[in-house]
Amino acid sequence: MSNYPHPIIAREGWPFVVLTLATAAGVTYFSALASIPFWIIAVFVLQFFRDPARVIPQNPSAVLSPADGRIVVVAKAHDPYANRDALKISVFMNVFNVHSNRSPVDGKIERVQYFPGRFVNADLDKASLENERNALTIRTGNGETVTCVQVAGLIARRILCYVHADEELKRGQRYGFIRFGSRVDVYLPLSARPKVTVGDKVSATETVLAEF
């Protein structure tokens, strides 16, 4: 799948943008004062679904952040999707972050696994295994395995994934979207060298999470 075209606002957001702007404009016609809350909602929707272009680092050994947000985990953990011990790096996305998800590496998708689940706060560690989630297992050109997991959050109710097994991904390629607060977990080989720490703010594609 190639990068989908989008005019700054993610395609997933256009129905919400049109609805909220039309509602705000309609209420304004009858009462400018009463329309203020509706314009606030419309502005929130616009900022939530923004999807700016990103500059892709040229370092071939870099693992890029798949999402905007804040680092909440950098630790050794079991990768249940590839059944291995791994370095886990988790990015928590609040409702003010860009919610497009992008591939952290170049590689071929070996598996896509979807799991229904709960909707507890994505900032909690248990969200990784209890919440609704969608996992991509990617094999890079140098034979490394990278697992990238979209995890639904407290108010997220829709994980969108546009790629399938056996497709090739490029670093920085948009492959999915999570609506309204969520988390993305990345599992890497234990030999990977982390470049971020807990609490760091990261930007999808532009921030290097680790190097092989």
Place of tokens 């799991």: 115
Structure tokens at 23: 């509602």
CA distances from 19 to 23, 30, 76, 177 (A): 6, 17, 44, 19
Residues 81 and 187: beta-carbon distance below 8 Å: yes
What is the reported pTM?
A: 0.84
DSSP state of 2: P
In the beta sheet, which residues pair with residue 190? Answer: none
DSSP state of 131: B
Residues 212 and 189: beta-carbon distance below 8 Å: yes
Q: CA-CA distance, 123 to 180, in Å (whole number)?
A: 13
In the beta sheet, which residues pair with residue 69? Answer: 202
Query: pLDDT value at position 199?
Result: 95
Query: pLDDT value at position 127?
Result: 64
Residues classed as catalytic: 182
In the beta sheet, which residues pair with residue 78? Answer: 85
Kindly list the domain boundaries of the chain, sorted by start residue: 11-48, 62-211
Helix (H) / strand (E) containing 36 = helix 36-48
Query: pLDDT value at position 14?
Result: 84
Per-position pLDDT tens, the chain of length 212:
444 555 678 877 788 889 999 999 999 999 999 999 999 999 988 888 888 888 899 898 999 999 999 999 999 999 999 999 999 999 998 888 888 899 999 999 999 999 887 666 656 677 677 788 899 999 998 899 999 999 987 655 578 899 999 999 999 999 998 876 688 999 999 999 999 999 999 999 999 999 98
Task: Give the burial string for 53-74 (b: 16+ CB within 10 Å, else e).
Answer: ebeeeeeeebbbbbbbbbbbbb
Query: pLDDT value at position 2?
Result: 44
- What is the CATH class of 62-211? mainly beta
Structure tokens at 79: 């990768």
With CA atoms as reference, report the closest residue to 182 among 60, 96, 58: 96
Place of tokens 């509602």: 23
Query: pLDDT value at position 6?
Result: 56
